Amino acid sequence: MKTKKTAVPAWLKKYKVGSGRISYRGERFSYSILRKEFELRLPGFVGFPEGHLFISEDVPKDYRKPILIHEFVEFTEFAGQVDRCRRAVVRELFHAPKGEEYSRYLEYRKTFFERLIEFYRDSNDVSDEFKTEIQGSYKLLKQLVAQQGVKNLPAECLGGRSLKEFENLDVYERRKIILKED
């Protein structure tokens, strides 16, 4: 398994407090853990500037991998596509904690996108397209949180199957469902 490393941009170095690696689709990616002081107005921040993944130290450890996968997928696999952020949420949910923790994870991400929308509401630093993208993710997460009494992952994430049906599929069939997502 090959690890992809990118140099930490100089403007991030003073905030770096750690690093980690995640595996995704047979590749390993390095990321930096930054002090929350990097952006106090946006708890749980994450980014992928200049090809370098980073995440706030205040993101719970069990949540880092799915959030970083979201960031990577949105800006590589889905780059330039419409609805890329919402589609990245769908992809991230394959890696989200399961069981009771899944509901807490959904709430955490919904709250993050709520804050992100507010953070950029009156900003000229991002495009209207970006604002539309994050609103799409927020709407999906809000819907999922409203359904959190349901113990299964959303059917959209499982190719229309229940979690039990999905878990009974072989690895090849699961991969086809994940990769077919459009």
pLDDT (tens digit per residue) in 146-157: 876 444 455 666
Angle between helices 61-75 and 84-93 (to 10 degrees): 140
What pLDDT, on a 0 to 100 scale, did the predictor assign at position 85?
A: 96
**Which tokens hold the place of 44?**
């749980």
The answer to whether 152 and 170 have CB atoms below 8 angstroms apart is: no
Distance CA 100, CA 92 (A): 17
pLDDT (tens digit per residue) in 132-174: 999 999 999 998 888 764 444 556 666 677 666 766 666 667 6
Buried b (16+ CB within 10 A) or exposed e, 140-162: bbeebeeeeeeeebeeebbbebe
* Residue 103 confidence class, pLDDT cut points 50, 70, 90: confident
Q: Tell me how far the alpha carbon of residue 94 is from its chain's centroid.
A: 10
* Residue 2 confidence class, pLDDT cut points 50, 70, 90: low
Mean of the per-residue pLDDT values for the chain?
A: 85
- Which residues sit opposite 55 in a β-bridge? 33, 46
Buried b (16+ CB within 10 A) or exposed e, 112-139: bbebbeebbeeeeeeeeeeeebbebbbe
| pTM of the model as a whole | 0.79
- Average of per-residue pLDDT across 99-103: 85
Strands (E), the chain: 2-4, 16-24, 27-34, 46-47, 53-56
Tell me how many degrees the CA angle 160-133-76 measures, rounded to the nearest 5.
Answer: 80
